Each structure stands twice: as structure tokens, then as C-alpha cells.
Chain A
Amino acid sequence: MEILQLIVNGIMSGTILAVPAIGLTVIFAVLRFTNFALASHMTIGAYAGLIANATFGLPVIPSLIVAFVGAGLVGWLSDEFVLKPLRASGFITTAIGSIALTIGLENIVRFIFGNQMRGYDLPIRRDWRFSGLHISPQQVESLVIAIVVMGLLFVFLSMTRTGKAMRAVADNPMLAAIKGINADRIAGIVSFVGMGLAGVGGMLIGLDTTIDPLVGFKTVLSIFAAAVVGGFGSIPGAVVGALVIGIGEELSLLVLSPAYRTAVGFIAILLVLTLRPRGLLGARAY
């Protein structure tokens, strides 16, 4: 029963990790660099959602849309004006630039909102209990929201012209350019969508806990691990990777002290890079 409870907890946390992990992997698939600014965009999304929910009294779903649009816009602007000029210098320079960017953005959030923890204006509900298990209604809602968001993204990528163009650039940028796909426009859309997903992930984490300017930074290692384990650049891989990390972190409690939970992420990265460098599902973008 204990194992079952840990697996349930792992599925819950893994599904929420999957949303920003998809954002990270989509950006990598198209722009070919690891955008560490994901952490600050999670924070920005969480705070955008907080303004919508706590200040303007909007319910969860509209607040999540605000989180998506807010983080997406900042993601598009920061890519356009900060990261795009760095891309010519190579992916390492751009990735390092994204670290500087995330520290800068995080401190802007800190300057505007202060350091104190904040909670969404939502009632906290007691867990549902059945068959010796307990599960939080908020986590179930977040799980459903995360699945719907992933479904919408799948529809966007597989059924819309822009989504197909994104996949084309991810698969073969040169061929996509020959076919007349505007890589700059696609880069902007990818940054908007990827960072928007990060913002949704930041708010989903905050819904179950509280938020502060470090809300993104605290979880970015697990998200990075999820993307690597699943296969950097693969969207289904990000989902599988997030579930592996989420469930793995929980199951590790059977043999490890909780104080070493984060080690699971590192060990997973090491194992995957050693045994299957392409990740569990390879590196296809869809």
C-alpha cells in the first residue's frame, strides 16, 4: 500500500513537471540550445496567475491563461532582444546567456513583488481517502489541467500549419528554410509557447503550495532531468521523463532518506547519458 501511495504521489508531481519540461524540450528541439531562463519564466507565470487570481479575482482556468500569456510574452521578448543576438555565437554562449537572463528576470520579480511567500486565493481542500490511499483534489485538478494542456499542444503541433512548421524546423532546419518557412518567426512562436508552458507549470506548482521568486529555480533541476531522461527534443519523451523523475523521486524514499531526493534526478541523468544518451524516446520533436 505504501508503494502504491508513493506511485500516486509520483504521478501527481511528475505530471505537473511535464508541462514546463515540454516547454524546455520544444525550445531545444527548434532553437537547439538549453534555455535555462525557463526557471524565471515559471516564476513570471506563477506571479501573472497570482495577479489574475488574487488581485482581480479570476478563477483558476482564466488565471492559467493569464500565466501562459504573461510568461509567453516575456519569453518572446527576452528571446528577441537578449538570446537571439547571442545565437550566432553558438549554443554554449546562448545557454550561458540564458542563465544570466534568468537571474536578471528573477530579481526583477523580487524587486516588484518582494521576497515573501504568497498563496493563491483558493480554499485548501482536504484529501480524498479511499482504499488506504489519500489524494489531494487540487493535485487531481492540476493533473487534469496538465493533461489538457499537453493535449492542446499535441493538437497545435500536429494539426495547425504553424505547429507543422515548428516540427519541420525541429526536424530539419535547412529543408524547412528551402520550403520557405521563416525560421525567425518560428523561433518567436516557439519561445512564446515554450515559456508560456513554463508559466503554466509555475502556476500549477504554486496552486498546490505557495509561490516566491524562487518557485521556478527550485524545480528546474527536476525539469531538466525529465527532459534529459525522456530525450532532449522529444515532447512525448519529456512527459515520460517527468513521470520517471516524479515516480523515481517518490519511490527512492523506500531506500533513501528524503534528504537525498534530488540525487534521484542527478542519478537518472547520469544513467541515461551513460546507457542511452539519446534519452528514453530519442530526440524526435513529436
Chain B
Amino acid sequence: MTRVTRRKILKGAAAAAAGVALPVRAYAAGEAVKVGILTPLTGAGGADGPRMLKAMQAVFDEVNKAGGVDGRMFQTVVEDDQTNPEAAVRAARKLIEVDKVPIIMGTWASSVTTAVLPVCWESKTFMMTVSGADSISLLPHQGYLVRTQPTSKLQSIAHASYIASTGKMKIGVIGIQAPFAQSTKEHLDATIKAAGGSVVSHVIYEKDKSTYRSEIDQVMKANPDNLYLNGYAPDTVVVLRDLYKAGIELPKFCQSYAVPQSTLDANPPEVSEGVVTGSPSADVDSTAYKLAADRLGMREIDAYVAQATDWASLAVLTFAKSKEATGSAFKDNVRKVSQGDGVKVYSAIEGLKAISEGKEINYEGASGPCDFNEIGDIAKCRFRFTQVRNGKLEFLKIV
């Protein structure tokens, strides 16, 4: 009769543990790296989200076709954030808790990112976003955030500088209730004051209203000589109609995301005529920009598509650098591929080749240099201005 000793039990347990662990390790080597894409396919951001999604998937497809990273492919798990913080948090929890993604990219509205970011840092999930509110990167995110979008401050300064260059000095600001509303007004005011003007009125309105006539009356009380419309597309289309009906012919400035072609198409051309839009510019002269446009089969791409291209490329390169698909590894290693003295690379494929050759790299993106400061913001950005003429956006300049 065989005696069952404590030593035998321990040996058996160790063997069993090794037997279980080895297949896991073998499986992990070929396991796909899951990437959570949480972007607005519906709601106010529904005009931009699908394009960003396509750009991210194009990068991952290209990398997967080239064999992935050490045989590991990238698998995207897509959720619609509905441009709605509550829906976005639910979707983020699903991505993190069910799909076990280590990284989430693609949020658009600042209110959505503000809601999702705590869920990410609490679960050590890395996040990349296009949201611009100053307050986002000031949250205690512990490094689990980088964003390629310039802050509201950078954008407001650029926009106010443009307005000052037109000679208009009395800005009336009318915009949606959003995390960027107050800081945008303050930076507009500070910049235009330096040029001798000021923000003479500021009205924050609620989203989803069928008319903003009374809000327009309020902002016009201070007799501004130009208007800054700080909303999203669904409300801006209503504000533009109400301004036209009220016969207010002042120069109007909008964020470009508030005036996509769908906004212009929803109104007769005369309603939006002359509106100037400002947006962060893609780095149109860069190699990465040309590669991104070619990858998507387009002649030119906008700033959101460029930024989405950069998130996907940075995710691939950071994983290649760290060889670890965890949020902490993305957090600790993203700056090792996005900036520094390494050889400059302009696409994920090019960066993977350099990393495999043992080189340090510095990814220069389609949206810009992608150099992040300690709170995850980019330091500088070019800006693109367009103007509506006959229902179409026409290029003015890049500064």
C-alpha cells in the first residue's frame, strides 16, 4: 500500500501547478492584445467617432497583417459611448471588467472623459482621448491618461488671437454646459484683453433644447461685435438658425466639431454663411500625416482622424517596448516611445522595425510630435481655420 505523505502531496501539488501554469504561459504568448475603443458612434460626437474608429482599426489591421508584435495580434473591442457620460461609464466598465482591456481610447466629449477617467485609473486602465477640457488632465489620474488634443486653454488662446486679428474686440460667448465652458471663457477673455478687448457677455445653456432664442437675447444685451459659439453640433445648428431668424449678422466663430458638414446640410446655406471655425490641425506636412492618409485611401485627413491614428500607433509601439499588456505597462512606457532622443519614426510599422533592431524610438505623429508632459498634455499644436461659404467649409489658414 502506497503511503500518502505530506511531501508527496506537496510534490503533486507543485507538479499540478506547473502543469496548469505552462499552458497558460504558452497561450499568453499567442494571445491577442485587447484594445478597448470607446468612441461616440451616436449623439453629438456621432459625426467624428466613426472616422476615428476607422483610423484606429486601419493601424491595427496594418500591424496585424505584418505579423503583430512577437506573434501577438491586436484585437479591438468597440463600444459606443453615445456622447453620454452615463452610457460611457457603463460601456467602460464592460470593457474593463468583461473584456479585460488594459487600454481604452477614443472618448470625444469632455463630460464623457471626465466620467470615464476615474473608472480607468481605479482599475489601472490606460486612457487616450481627444477631449480638451483643462480640468481633465488635472484630475488625479496617476499617469493613466495622455491626450493628443490641445487643452481648452491652448485652443481658446488661438481662437481669441484669430478674433483679435479681425479687429473685433467685444466677444459675446454663448455655449453649452460642459467642463470646458468656464475655462474657455476665461482664456478667451485673458487673451482678448491683452489685445485691448474683452468678453462682454457669457451665457451657458443647456443641451437638447429646441430653441435658444432667450439665451441669444441675453448674450446680445451687452452689444458684442462678434459671437463665439461654444457648443456641440446638435445645439449649434439650433443657435445658428435662431441667430439667423433674429437677424443677427455679427461675425461668428465656432469650434470645428460644432460645424461638421451635417450641421451645414441641416440648415439652408444662408444660415451658416461666413461662420469661421477653428480646430487643432493635423500636422499636414509630416510624414506620419501622409502615411495615415494613404492608409485610409484619403487625400487629406482631419485632426481627429490624425489623433486616432496616433493613439493606435502609440499603443502598438508601447506594447512592443514593454512586452506587457497591462494598463500600468502602457502608463510607464508610453513616453519611452513618444518622445526623447530615439530615432524618429512615423508609423507603427516603422517603429516596430526600429524596436526589433534594438533602437530607441521617438514617434512623431500625424497630429503632431505627441510629446506629453507630466500630466499627459501635449505642449503645443498648430491650428487650422476654415470659413463657411455657400454651405461648404473652405480652408483659410493654419497657424
- A residues with a Cβ closer than 8 A to B are 2, 5-6, 9, 13, 16, 110, 115-119, 123-127, 129, 134, 136, 138, 205, 208-210, 212-214, 218-219, 250, 253, 257-262
Whether, in the assembled complex, B33 has its beta carbon less than 8 Å from a beta carbon of chain A, the answer is no
User: Is B123 interfacial (CB-CB < 8 Å)?
Assistant: no
In the bound complex, CA of A121 to CA of B102 (Å): 48
Q: Does the CB pair A9–B211 fall under 8 Å?
A: yes
Partner of B214, one of A9, A118, A125, A205: A9
Q: Nearest CB to that of B176 among chain A residues?
A: A259
A262 touching B206, Cβ below 8 Å: yes
B244 interfacial by beta-carbon distance below 8 Å: yes
Q: Per a CB cutoff under 8 Å, which of B204, B233, B244, B262 touches A257?
A: B204
CB neighbours (8 Å) of A261 from chain B are: 205-206, 209
- What is the distance, in angstroms, from B271's C-beta to the closest C-beta of chain A? 6
* B209, B214, B266 pick with most chain A CB within 10 angstroms: B214
Interface Cβ pair total, 8 Å cutoff: 101
Q: Closest residue of chain A to B40, judged by CB?
A: A115
Can you list, as one digit per residue, whether each of B189-219 has a CB less than 8 Å from chain A (1) or not (0)? Answer: 0000000000000011110111111110110
Most buried by B among A5, A16, A110, A214: A214
> In whole angstroms, what is the CA distance A6 to B203 when docked?
16
Segment at the interface with A among B24-32, B108-116, B234-242: B234-242
Q: How far is the CA of A214 from the CA of B207 in the complex (A)?
A: 12
Given contacts A117-B266, A136-B245, A259-B177, contact A209 B47 (CB under 8 A): no
Find chain B residues with CB under 8 A from A258 CB: 203-206, 212, 214-215, 218
Taken together as a complex, chains A and B put the C-alpha atoms of A9 and B212 apart, in Å, by 10
A118–B262 Cα distance when bound, in Å, is 8
Q: Is the CB of A208 within 8 A of B210?
A: yes
A259's contact among B46, B206, B214, B262, by CB below 8 Å, is which? B206
Task: Give every chain A residue within 8 A of B241 (Cβ-Cβ).
Answer: 124, 208-210
Q: Do B246 and A127 touch (CB < 8 A)?
A: yes
When each residue 241-273 of chain B gets 1 if its CB lies under 8 Å from chain A and 0 otherwise, what string results? 100111100000000000000110111101100
A124 near B268 with CB under 8 A, answer yes
The CA-CA distance from A47 to B365 in the complex, in Å, is 42
Say whether A253 contacts B42, CB under 8 Å: no
Cα distance A13–B215 in the bound complex, in angstroms:
14
B contact residues, total (Cβ < 8 Å): 37
A13 to B242, alpha carbons, bound, how many Å? Answer: 14
A residues within 8 A CB of B46?
115-116
Report the separation of the CA atoms of residues A258 and B149 in the bound assembly, to the nearest whole angstrom. Answer: 29
10 residue pairs of the A-B complex, CB under 8 angstroms, read A2-B217, A116-B262, A119-B268, A124-B241, A127-B247, A209-B210, A210-B237, A210-B267, A218-B209, A219-B208
Task: Tell whether, in the assembled complex, residue B244 and residue A124 are in contact, meaning their CB atoms are under 8 Å apart.
Answer: yes
A115 and B42 form a contact (CB under 8 A): yes
Q: Which secondary structure dominates where chain B touches chain A?
A: helix
Is the CB–CB distance between A124 and B267 below 8 Å?
yes
CA distance A261 to B247 in the complex (A): 25
CB distance from B124 to the nearest CB of A (A): 33
| Bound-state Cα–Cα, A16 to B267, Å | 21
With A13-B211, A119-B267, A209-B211 in contact, is A126–B245 under 8 Å at CB?
Answer: yes
Task: Look across to chain B and name the residue whose beta carbon is closest to the beta carbon of A13.
Answer: B211
> Which of A118, A126, A258 counts the most chain B CB atoms within 10 A?
A258
Contacts of A210 in B (CB 8 A): 234, 237-238, 241, 266-267
Residue of chain B at shortest CB distance from A115: B46
Q: Mark B164-208, 1 if CB is under 8 A from A, else 0.
A: 000000000000010000000000000000000000000111101
**Cβ–Cβ contact B211 & A208, under 8 A:** yes
| Contact A125 B245, beta carbon cutoff 8 Å | yes
Please give the distance in Å from A130's CB to the nearest CB on chain B: 13
Binding site for A on B (CB under 8 A): 41-43, 46-47, 177, 203-206, 208-215, 217-218, 233-234, 237-238, 241, 244-247, 262-263, 265-268, 270-271
Beta-carbon nearest neighbor of A16 in chain B: B210
> Which residues of A are found within 8 Å of B212, using beta-carbon distances?
258
Bound state CA distance, A208 and B237, in angstroms?
A: 11
Bound Cα distance A252, B217 (Å): 14
Asked whether, in the complex, the Cβ of A117 is within 8 Å of the Cβ of B233, the reply is yes
Tell me which residues across on chain B come within 8 A of A115, comparing CB atoms.
41-43, 46-47
**Distance in angstroms between the alpha carbons of A250 and B267 in the assembled complex:** 25
| Chain B residues whose CB sits within 8 angstroms of the CB of A212 once the complex forms | 234
| Known contacts A9-B213, A208-B211, A209-B238, A119 near B266 by CB under 8 Å | yes
Looking at A110, A118, A136, the one whose CB has the most chain B CB atoms below 10 A away is A136
With A and B bound together, what is the CA distance between A212 and B208 in angstroms?
A: 11
Q: Nearest residue in B to A262 (C-beta to C-beta)?
A: B206
A255 to chain B, nearest CB (A): 12
A126 touches B262 (CB 8 A): no
Smallest CB–CB gap between B41 and chain A, Å?
8
A205-B210 CB under 8 A given contacts A124-B267, A253-B218: yes
Q: Which residues of B contact A9 (CB under 8 A)?
A: 211, 213-214
Chain A residues near B177 (CB-CB < 8 A):
259
Give Cα A209 to B212, complex, Å.
Answer: 10
A22 to B129, CA, bound (A): 44
What separation, in Å, do the CA atoms of A2 and B217 have in the docked complex? 9
Give CA–CA (A60, B51) in the complex, Å: 36
Most A CB contacts (10 A, CB to CB) among B212, B213, B268 go to: B213
User: In the complex, how many angstroms separate the beta carbon of B275 from the nearest chain A beta carbon?
Assistant: 15
Cα distance A6–B237 in the bound complex, in angstroms: 22
- List chain B residues, Cβ under 8 A from A205: 210
CB B112 to nearest CB in A, in angstroms, measures 16
7 closest Cβ contacts across the A-B interface?
A218-B208, A115-B46, A117-B266, A116-B262, A259-B177, A258-B205, A119-B266
Give every chain B residue within 8 A of A208 (Cβ-Cβ). 210-211, 241
Closest B residue to A116 by beta carbon equals: B262
Q: Is the beta-carbon distance between B204 and A126 smaller than 8 angstroms?
A: no
Q: Are A124 and B210 in contact (CB under 8 A)?
A: no
Collect the chain B residues with CB atoms within 8 Å of residue A16's CB.
Answer: 210
In contact, B246 and A118 (Cβ under 8 angstroms): no
How far apart are the CA atoms of A208 and B241 in the complex, in Å?
Answer: 9
Which of B204, B211, B241 gathers most chain A CB within 10 Å?
Answer: B211
* A126–chain B nearest beta-carbon distance, Å: 5
**CB-defined contacts of B211 to chain A, threshold 8 Å:** 9, 13, 208-209
